[in-house]
Copies of this chain bind each other. A is one copy, B any other.
Amino acid sequence: MGGDKAPDEIVAGAKQAVEELGVPVVLVGQPEAIGDPGPCEVIAASEVIAMDEDPGQGVRRKKDSSLVRAAEAVRDGKASAMVGAGNTGATMASALLRMGRIKGVNRPAIATPIPVPGSTPTILLDAGANAECTAQMLVQFAQMGSVFAAGRYGIDKPRVGLLSIGEEETKGTPLVKETHALLAEGVGINFIGNVEGRDIISDRVDVVVTDGFTGNVALKSMEGTLRFIVGKVFEAFLSSDEAKEAANVLLPALAPVADELEPDNTGGAMLLGVDGVCIISHGSSSARAIVNAVRVARDSVDGDLVNRLRDSLSG
């Protein structure tokens, strides 16, 4: 029931996922809004937590909401993973309150893959779950991000960087300096030191660790810049008939890059640290985005992500 294009695109994506991936998909929501569920099972949920609703209040008050019921389905073993394109905070709160945390995890974090055309994505976490963080939380994010990058993208010993405003360990806030010191002591990951904003969309680092405030600002600054530049390039392509023809010639070379950068193709972000698989898709998710999110969910379950996280944090 969540997302700018719900429920139509979400339901369409669920049906496509069943067909394309052979994964059984359970739709959770108002049966009358869902309409024909096709090959999908339906779990009825009468309430909806709106996109702009307060997450904590929404989850506490709307016990029969699609988000809460979806998280319960995972908790109760009726589903192996949940996927949502709605209110991010409420998705997180539902997962946290119903699935619980992996033992030892202080706070879950949102891990967002930043596409780097020509290379594996860079995992940025926390991308917005926790505006305020402690050094201990950031160390766990580093460990969880490393497991995720290895499991999801097959990266051997992922290079983990701490986001700061200079490479020297003396740079940054007290939080960054304290975290740097803890990570440098060795916490079972391949820590490469501080990295800067410009390193995120590059092949210099695999996992970038930061607090949820900074991570969200960085993510949205990059998204804004990308959208702005792509918009300007398209304006130029459409500026005259000659330009349109020229643009057609360039399409074969540009299309693969655009394809890798397209948010619908990343499959969404992952909530790491809860005791179950929870994928947070973009609010503007199309059916295609949902198919990819289901693929990521399936891969995460097949790859035993939650148990891998459990093992890495129990050390």
Contacts and interface: CB of A to CB of B under 8 A. Distances in A.
Interface string A189-229: 00000001111111000000010111011111111111111
Contacts of A220: 165, 196-198
Interface string A224-250: 111111101101110110110111011
A97 interface: no
Interface in A163-180: 163-165, 168, 170-174, 176
Interface size classification for chain A: 35 or more
SS class, residues of chain A in contact with chain B = helix
Contacts of A232: 117, 254, 257
Contact of A247 (B168, B197, B223, B246): B246
A200 B221 contact: yes
A216 B218 CA distance: 10
16 contacts: A196-B217, A197-B219, A197-B222, A197-B223, A197-B224, A201-B228, A214-B214, A218-B221, A222-B225, A225-B229, A232-B257, A233-B233, A233-B254, A236-B250, A243-B249, A247-B250
